[in-house]
Amino acid sequence: MSRTSSPLSRILGKLAEPFRRAGLCDAVQTIEGDVGSYYVSIAAIVKNEARYIREWIEYHRIVGVEHFFIYDNGSTDNLRELLEPYIQDKLVTYHSCPGTCLQFPAYNDAVVRYAGKTRWLAFIDADEFIVVHGQNIANFLKGFEDCSAVGVNWIMFDSDGKEKMPQSGFVISNYFRTLQNINHPCNLHIKTIVDPRQVKFISNPHYIKLKGGRYVDENGQQICSAFTRKNSTKHIQINHYYSKSVEEYMEKIARGCADGTKARQPMQTDYDYTVEGARHYDSGIGDIALKLKGIIPETYNGK
């Protein structure tokens, strides 16, 4: 796809040059799906997430996300096949970008390509679900029109004691166990919903470098790093189903990281929060699970 070089793309191109010199920023190979004008969109880099992708997309459509920019980091499952109907319906713009260390190049590519196409762009992963309490995400973000970015705290979920991958049920209805301490360092992390026109460069998946404007939490308080001082999730949060079952956690570890090639080491504290103190936590999205049942099969294999 040809496009006219804009000042923003030239600036980001220069900033991305260190990645290219290191051999970490190959050009995106393909792009499919038309792009219109949206208020809220998501950009994500994924690999072998076919098992979960329909739930993730349909969930976020229910809460008000209008479009998805999906960067496929060399999947070998049937991810592309499952995304095809969404591509045809112009809900997903699909990029194929196999290789290593491509998370930040993919994020910056999304900014360059789509800064003028969406008012807000959330950078999250396929195991993260945006939960807005009492309203949809568009209505929530309308209260931040004078801001450049909104940082949203995580709530981390563990395996819920499940050793094996469940054969039925959605992710959001299979896992309810979180850390007892809401202000545990894990829950102080943020992910960002940003005005892409205000992005200078992305080199951190949590905290984005802005050209200007206010970077705030759900209460309008200034954020200055990838961590907040306290967890604040009264109005909005991100449910991060990091491990799912122990079996799925081990698969995740074997896949490696999107932002680097360093092998992960399994840690019990990643999937078993009883080690540090756990609690049952209902984030109030059972009604969305019921809606999902009417949209996609409640199986756990993505088919």
Tens digit of each residue's pLDDT (9 = 90 or more) over 24-65: 344 455 666 666 699 999 999 999 999 999 999 999 999 999
Sequence letter at residue 43 = A
What confidence score (pLDDT) does residue 26 get?
A: 45
Token output for 282: 């209902």
pTM: 0.89
What's the average model confidence in pLDDT over 153-173? Answer: 96
Alpha-carbon gap, residue 298 to 171, rounded angstroms: 10
Neighbours of 242 (CB within 10 A): 18
What confidence score (pLDDT) does residue 200 get?
A: 96
The confidence band for 173, taking pLDDT boundaries of 50, 70 and 90, is very high
Tens digit of each residue's pLDDT (9 = 90 or more) over 263-280: 678 999 999 999 999 999
Tens digit of each residue's pLDDT (9 = 90 or more) over 237-265: 999 999 999 999 999 888 776 665 566 78
Tens digit of each residue's pLDDT (9 = 90 or more) over 107-136: 999 999 999 999 999 999 999 999 999 999
Checking if the pLDDT of 17 tops 60, the result is: no
Q: Which residue has the higher pLDDT, 7 or 51?
A: 51
Tens digit of each residue's pLDDT (9 = 90 or more) over 128-149: 999 999 999 999 999 999 999 9
Please name each of the domains of the chain with its CATH number: 7-293 (3.90.550)
Largest CA distance in the chain: 54
Residue 240 gets which letter from DSSP? E
What's the average model confidence in pLDDT over 175-187? Answer: 96
Integer angstrom CA distances of residue 214 from 12, 125, 209, 227, 243: 21, 24, 11, 16, 33
Token output for 298: 């409640």
Tens digit of each residue's pLDDT (9 = 90 or more) over 85-111: 999 999 999 999 999 889 999 999 999
Alpha-carbon gap, residue 221 to 25, rounded angstroms: 35
What confidence score (pLDDT) does residue 2 get?
A: 36
What confidence score (pLDDT) does residue 300 get?
A: 52
What's the average model confidence in pLDDT over 284-288? Answer: 95
**Candidate from 68-77, 272-281, 289-298 with smallest mean pLDDT:** 289-298
